[in-house]
């Protein structure tokens, strides 16, 4: 039983608690998963199975139904994850491996996630206008650090994904040269960056994807 592995449980405890009690809607659930990519594993499902079985053995139907509903939500979210979300999960996976994460790195990552998950071009333009620091070398240094860590771990898929995201922001920075006052210029730069990189998946929309952790 997974519940008998205290070390493994300790590693996922806070993430699991956040999913159990803070994910009230599917959007909340996706946000929690992006912050805690270790939730998208068979290990977590086995924990849920143990929790459900324990509640059943104790005759606590309310708790049993609660765990079953949370597990069902997890299944729904995993089936609804878009390619964008899969990419962000891989990015988050590398970020969480850093022993020391500076506050500005956390802030940059949060803004990058928001930009990548934004469904419309107009909203992406507004995010860049409100957060011009995304078009500075801070973003490139941030991704360089993640890429080095992914490369040293032999995670080639993560390396490819991170390089693609980095290339998008590099092209935006070079094209716009820190000028974010002209909406048409930003629009053209975004369209060009997506067209010239291998990141066309960001224009394909949502579809069912099975994530193998």
Tell me which residues of the chain have a pLDDT lower than 50. Answer: 1, 99-100, 200-213
Burial category of 99 from C-beta neighbours within 10 Å (exposed 0-12, middle 13-18, buried 19 and up): exposed
Closest among 177, 211, 199, 195 to 85, alpha carbons compared: 211
How far is the C-alpha of 64 from the C-alpha of 60, rounded, in Å? 6
What pLDDT sits at residue 152?
83
Other beta carbons within 10 angstroms of residue 25's beta carbon come to: 9
What pLDDT sits at residue 82?
61
What pLDDT sits at residue 200?
46
Identify the residue whose tokens are 């992006």. 34
How far is the C-alpha of 25 from the C-alpha of 194, rounded, in Å? 30
Identify the residue whose tokens are 């509903």. 69
């Amino acid at each position: 039983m997974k519940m008998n592995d205290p070390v493994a449980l300790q590693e996922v405890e806070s993430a699991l608690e956040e999913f159990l009690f803070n994910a009230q809607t599917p959007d909340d659930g996706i946000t929690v998963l992006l912050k805690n990519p270790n939730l998208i594993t068979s290990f977590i499902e086995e924990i849920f199975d143990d929790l459900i079985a324990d509640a059943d053995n104790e005759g606590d139907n309310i708790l049993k139904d609660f765990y079953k509903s949370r597990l069902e939500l997890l299944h729904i979210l995993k089936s609804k994850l878009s390619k964008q979300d899969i990419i962000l999960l891989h990015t988050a996976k590398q970020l969480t491996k850093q022993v020391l994460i500076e506050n500005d790195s956390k802030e940059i990552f949060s803004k990058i996630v928001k930009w990548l998950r934004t469904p419309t071009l107009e909203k992406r333009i507004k995010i860049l206008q409100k957060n011009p620091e995304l078009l500075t070398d801070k973003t490139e240094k941030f991704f360089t650090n993640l890429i080095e860590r992914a490369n040293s771990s032999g995670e080639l898929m993560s390396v490819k994904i991170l390089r693609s995201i980095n290339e998008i922001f590099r092209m935006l920075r070079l094209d716009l040269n820190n000028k974010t006052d002209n909406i048409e210029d930003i629009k053209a730069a975004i369209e060009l960056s997506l067209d010239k990189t291998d990141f066309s998946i960001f224009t394909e929309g949502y579809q069912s994807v099975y994530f193998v952790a």
